[in-house]
Amino acid sequence: MAIDDGRSFEHPLYHYWENSPGGGIGLTTLDRLLMHSARHSLWFFPMATSCCAIEFMTAAASRVDLDQAGTIIRPTPRHCDVMVVAGTITVKMAPRVKKLWDQMPEPKWAIAMGSCAICGDFYRDIYSVVPGVDVIIPVDVYIPGCPPNADQVMVALQRLQEKIKLQLEGKFVERDLRPGTMIYPKIGTHGDARQSAEVAQAQLDGARGLGVGGKEHRVPRPAAVQAPPEADATSDSGEQS
Amino acid sequence: MNLRQRDRINPHLDLDTVDAAADLMALNMGPQHPSTHGVLRIKLFLDGEVIIKAVPYPGYLHRGVEKLCERLTCVQLTPIFDKHDYVAPMTNEQALNIALERMLGVEVPRRARYMRTILAELQRLASHLLWLGTFTLDIGGTIGGGASLMMYTFREREPILDVFEMLTGARFHYNTHQVGGNRHDIPDGWAAAVKTCMDQLAARMPEYEEQCVTNSVFLMRTKGIGVIETPLALELGLTGPNLRASGVDLDLRRDAPFHAYDEIKVNVAVSNGCDTHARFEVRIAEMYESIRIVRELIDNVPEGPICSLKPVRTVNQIKLPEGKQMYTAIETPRGELGTWLIGGGAEKGACPYRLKIRPPSLHAMAALPYALVGHTVSDVVAVLGSLDPIMGEVDR
Amino acid sequence: MMGPVDPALREALAKQFPDVFAAEGDLDPNGVVVPAALHVALAKTLKESFGFTLYVSVIATNFPTAEGETYEVATVLRNPTTAQPFWWRVRLGADPQLATLYPLFAGADWQEREQFDLVGVNFVDHPDMRRLMLSEDWEGFPLRKSYAIDTPHTPWR
Ligand code: SF4
């Protein structure tokens, strides 16, 4: 696990302070400060390999602007706290990813962005593709999608900050599950943090193929808009894969 | 002294034959380097700071797509093709579907051809905008001010993606083409959205261009750097803007028309500079041309059906004739994207037997050992950025 | 849109390569089949006399038959003035060897390396016949039909 029991924050000065009178108060204040700054100055290391990297760049650029959350994108592993794996990891790349992960200083976290990094997407079965980056490194937050929308990176960042806060407060942090292995009721907890209970339930029902409200649900098409059968069927079949 | 570039530079130079007094140093760039446009590794052999020999090692994103193509049916292939060149997925889908249509002899309705043309040009704009942003980012550096233009170009790219989203429901990886036509018809208000987006871009493009061409540092870093002479460019198989920047007037949109390009006039930008700056100029000119084409077409999309075949119901409804082989190519933002298609594979011919993709980026990368020699390390990113390779397409 | 060979070009080529181009009837619409010995000569003629100077692609394909493995190597060139492509195919046996086009076309360097890497066709006299896409220690040629798509590669997959 990347999130450990907090021992990596320990500094030799701690012992000195702990034993001096009144030092405990200073220590808790320092802890709060550390906790605050660790959450709000996460530096991102873009392990950007393919398509998801473009969406990650969009997240860093004008519209979503990751900078507003205090992040800086640094292409040097030694400066960074969070590795964002955006894209397919191949067998040839895997040792490098491992090496870069090892070069990052503790404490460090990892975000797997896109289905390729989560489970390999439809390249999963191919001879040269690693089926999910958690084969190599421990992942804290998964962002599902192919590619995930750029603002989902922001949501993942919030989820990570929440996890860091809990962990530094010494609370139990439940491990995020790889979306592929998730059972249904967990979908809401993983996705958009601002999602309301109804939306989560609707999404859940939709995923189960029940339609909204648990019933067979279909919006009838008004007669005036009905297109000729050929074109109608064409536009009907546009499901995204 | 007047040797051709091919004879002057040997990419397989045996370093043992180099003067032993020269103090050569090997420098490894990548595969995780922010300016290599993905995952590319280049091994540079340096004398001081001057590159003697450059050996690129691609393949860090080899996803085995050609093997996957033999296992999936023609209907399932379109979303796979989105993912090679992830900066221009529209044109990639079109390349596949045109190859299948030509092999099967399927006609595409006029409305679908017009829509495809508009989508291709919009995609060219989005792709070139991303290129302009990353190219200047590479040259200027994040801290050195290169990031400012990148922020603008990403802002301009967003409306184009929004327009695509209106049509297909996806920001990229659209899956909007199928054999015989398109899947999604134009929604209400789409033409107006495209026009607004084009007006905005047309008004702001001169500003972005000016930011580069009036910047003396930019000019110093691009003029005369990374020269690829005309005969070498042809031999290497460079295509698209890279070839046109080396002085060859070849554009498949005009010379071997597909979509609706036979009904409109395409002005092809050509430059004789052969260097990084020429490639910059050609791409900027192409962007103006794309805006013009989109504006010309958007009001003239003919009425009619958008697909000549039945809509997709099952995955193996399209069968390829056995033993037929064919090379088909279209012009994408990066150049000639070709497919060598052999019919009659698994699933009673619903899968291709073999599908080789001819990626323009791989040929552009092959120019690196020639273009880099004699320059300094800092020029590597400028040359690489100007060739506009996409590693997904290089490695597939 | 484009036939593999246009008549005027065929007539001109028939003078130099009577075996291939002077045959009766239409040429194979899938591309002319050329003996391996004429491969380089044909490319040279096309490049130097007919203006096919743009190197487009090389495609190797594995065809397992009842008698054993066979291979086909197709080469595509393009004339930049007329934008006309031209392609031909060479049939090879179980041990695929073909002369390289590297001296004529610099682009053949990487293209042939890629086909060697994925299909296992050996291009003779190529200056640097290494794998391009896969790592040096890879075993097998993935695009051969006998290679399983999900071949494991420990410890990574
Ligand atoms: S998840 Fe989809 S978008 Fe992301 S890298 Fe994989 S194929 Fe590309």
Summarize pLDDT for C26-78 with one digit per residue, the tens. 677 777 888 888 888 888 888 888 888 888 889 988 888 888 888 888 888 88
Q: What is the pLDDT of residue A198?
A: 58
Q: What is the pLDDT of residue B60?
A: 87
pTM for this predicted structure: 0.82
Please determine, for residue A210, whether its predicted confidence score (pLDDT) is greater than 50: no
Q: What is the pLDDT of residue C147?
A: 80
Chain C CB contacts of B60 below 8 Å: none
Distance between Cα A125 and ligand 1 center (Å): 15
- Does B290 contact C at CB distance below 8 Å? no
CA distances from B301 to B121, B258, B304, B305, C32 (A): 14, 16, 9, 12, 40
Domain contains B226: yes
Summarize pLDDT for B227-284 with one digit per residue, the tens. 888 888 888 888 889 888 888 888 888 888 888 888 888 888 888 888 888 888 899 9
Please determine, for residue A137, whether its predicted confidence score (pLDDT) is greater than 80: yes
Summarize pLDDT for A39-72 with one digit per residue, the tens. 888 888 888 888 888 888 888 877 787 888 778 8
Q: How far apart are CA A163 and CA A165, in angstroms?
A: 5
Instruction: Residue B270: count other Cβ atoms within 10 Å of its Cβ.
Output: 18
Domain contains B122: yes
Q: What is the pLDDT of residue A194?
A: 39
Residue C149: what residue type?
I
Nearest chain A CA: its distance from C152 CA (Å) = 6
Helix (H) or strand (E) holding C41: helix C39-49
Contact in structure between A112 and A85 (CB atoms under 8 Å): yes
Atom 6 of ligand 1, residue of closest alpha carbon: A116
Q: How far apart are CA B142 and CA A148, in angstroms?
A: 25
Name the residue with higher pLDDT: B145 or B395: B395
- Grouping H, G, I as helix, E, B as strand and the rest as coil, residue C132 is coil
Q: How far apart are CA B208 and CA B391, in angstroms?
A: 26
Chain B CB contacts of C148 below 8 Å: none
With an 8 Å Cβ cutoff, the interface of chain C facing chain A consists of 133-135, 142, 147-151, 153, 156-157
Return the ligand 1 atom nearest residue B86 CA. Answer: 8
Contact in structure between B59 and B368 (CB atoms under 8 Å): no
Nearest chain C CA: its distance from B107 CA (Å) = 12
Question: Which of C71, C114, C115 should be substituted to probe chain B, the one whose Cβ sees the most B Cβ atoms within 10 Å?
Answer: C114
Q: How far apart are CA B194 and CA A156, in angstroms?
A: 32
Nearest chain B CA: its distance from C143 CA (Å) = 6
Q: What is the pLDDT of residue A209?
A: 46
Domain count, chain B: 1
Summarize pLDDT for B97-110 with one digit per residue, the tens. 898 888 888 888 88
Pocket of ligand 1, beta carbon within 6 A: A 50-52, 87-88, 114-116, 121, 146-147; B 83
Please determine, for residue B365, whether its predicted confidence score (pLDDT) is greater than 80: yes
Q: What is the pLDDT of residue A188?
A: 27
- Grouping H, G, I as helix, E, B as strand and the rest as coil, residue B64 is coil
In the DSSP assignment, the letter for residue B306 is S
Please determine, for residue A1, whether its predicted confidence score (pLDDT) is greater than 60: no
- Rounded to the nearest 10 degrees, the angle between the axes of helix A12-19 and helix A23-40 is 150
Domain contains B320: no
CA B366 to chain centroid: 15
Contact check, Cβ <8 Å, C128/B324: no
Q: What is the pLDDT of residue A179?
A: 63
- List, edge to edge, every strand of the sheet that includes B335-342: B325-332, B335-342, B354-358
Please determine, for residue A235, whether its predicted confidence score (pLDDT) is greater than 50: no
Return the ligand 1 atom nearest residue A86 CA. Answer: 5
Distance between Cα B115 and ligand 1 center (Å): 26
Return the ligand 1 atom nearest residue A115 CA. Answer: 1
CA A218 to chain centroid: 33
Q: What is the pLDDT of residue C2?
A: 44
- Residue C18 CB contacts under 8 Å (≥ 6 apart), including other chains: none
- Ramachandran bin of B259, using left for φ above 0, alpha for ψ from -120 to 50, beta for the remaining angles: left
Summarize pLDDT for B149-203 with one digit per residue, the tens. 888 888 888 888 888 888 888 888 888 888 888 888 888 888 888 888 889 889 9
Q: What percent of chain B has pLDDT over 90?
A: 3
Q: How far apart are CA B331 and CA B121, in angstroms?
A: 11
Q: What is the mean pLDDT of residues C18-32?
A: 72
Q: What percent of chain B has pLDDT over 70?
A: 95
DSSP B120-177: HHHHHHHHHHHHHHHHHHHHH-TTTTHHHHHHHHHHHHHHHHHHHHHHHS-SS----E
Domain contains B328: no
Distance between Cα A154 and ligand 1 center (Å): 18
Q: Which residue's structure tokens are 């189960």?
A: A208
Please determine, for residue A99, whether its predicted confidence score (pLDDT) is greater than 70: yes
Summarize pLDDT for A153-163 with one digit per residue, the tens. 888 888 888 88
Q: How far apart are CA B39 and CA B390, in angstroms?
A: 9
Contact check, Cβ <8 Å, A50/B31: no
Domain contains B233: yes
Q: What is the pLDDT of residue B271?
A: 87
pLDDT-derived band at A199, boundaries 50, 70, 90:
low
Contact check, Cβ <8 Å, C153/A128: yes
SS (H, E, C) chain A: CCCCCCHHHCCHHHHHHHHCCCHHHHHHHHHHHHHHHHHHCCEEEEEECCHHHHHHHHHHCCCCCHHHHCCEECCCHHHCCEEEEECCCECCCHHHHHHHHHHCCCCCEEEEEHHHHHHCHHHCCCCCECCCHHHCCCCCEEECCCCCCHHHHHHHHHHHHHHHHHHHCCCCCCCCCCHHHCCHHHHHHHCCCCCCHHHHHHHHHHHCCCCHHHCCCCCCCCHHHCCCHHHHHHHHCCCCC
Domain contains B63: no
Q: What is the pLDDT of residue C156?
A: 72
Chain C CB contacts of A92 below 8 Å: 134-135
Contact in structure between A147 and A115 (CB atoms under 8 Å): no
Please determine, for residue A32, whether its predicted confidence score (pLDDT) is greater than 50: yes
Name the residue with higher pLDDT: A215 or A32: A32
Atom 3 of ligand 1, residue of closest alpha carbon: A147
Domain range for B121 is 75-314+379-395
Nearest chain B CA: its distance from A141 CA (Å) = 22
**Pairing verdict, β B335-342 and B325-332:** antiparallel
Nearest chain A CA: its distance from B83 CA (Å) = 7
- Residue B11 CB contacts under 8 Å (≥ 6 apart), including other chains: B53, B54, B55, B369, B370, C109
| Angle ∠(C33,C81,B339) on CA atoms, nearest 5 | 50
Q: What is the mean pLDDT of residues B296-309?
A: 85
- Does B42 contact A at CB distance below 8 Å? no
Q: Give me the CATH number covering residue B202.
A: 1.10.645.10
B271 closest CA partner among B246, B238, B240: B246
Helices (H), chain B: 5-8, 65-71, 74-82, 89-104, 110-140, 146-168, 190-213, 216-222, 230-236, 240-244, 252-255, 276-298, 346-349, 360-365, 368-371, 378-387, 391-395
Q: What is the mean pLDDT of residues B34-61?
A: 82
Q: How far apart are CA A147 and CA A145, in angstroms?
A: 5
Q: What is the pLDDT of residue B143?
A: 64
Please determine, for residue A196, whether its predicted confidence score (pLDDT) is greater than 80: no
Instruction: Quote the strand ranges of C1-157, DSSP E.
Output: 32-33, 54-65, 68-79, 84-92, 97-99, 122-124
CA B344 to chain centroid: 29
- Does B183 contact A at CB distance below 8 Å? yes
Dihedral sign from CA coordinates of C140, C143, C144, C145: positive
CA distances from C71 to A36, B255, C122 (A): 64, 33, 11
- List, edge to edge, every strand of the sheet that includes C84-92: C32-33, C84-92, C68-79, C54-65
Summarize pLDDT for B2-29 with one digit per residue, the tens. 567 776 777 777 776 666 556 788 888 8
Q: How far apart are CA B337 and CA B328, in angstroms?
A: 8
Contact check, Cβ <8 Å, C142/A129: no
Query: How confident is the prediction for chain A on average, in pLDDT?
Result: 70
Domain contains B247: yes
Please determine, for residue A215, whether its predicted confidence score (pLDDT) is greater than 50: no
Name the residue with higher pLDDT: B35 or A192: B35
Contact check, Cβ <8 Å, A136/C156: yes
Q: How far apart are CA B365 and CA B371, in angstroms?
A: 10
Atom 5 of ligand 1, residue of closest alpha carbon: A87
| Angle ∠(B201,B204,B210) on CA atoms, nearest 5 | 135
Domain contains B243: yes
Please determine, for residue A208, whether its predicted confidence score (pLDDT) is greater than 80: no
Return the ligand 1 atom nearest residue A50 CA. Answer: 5
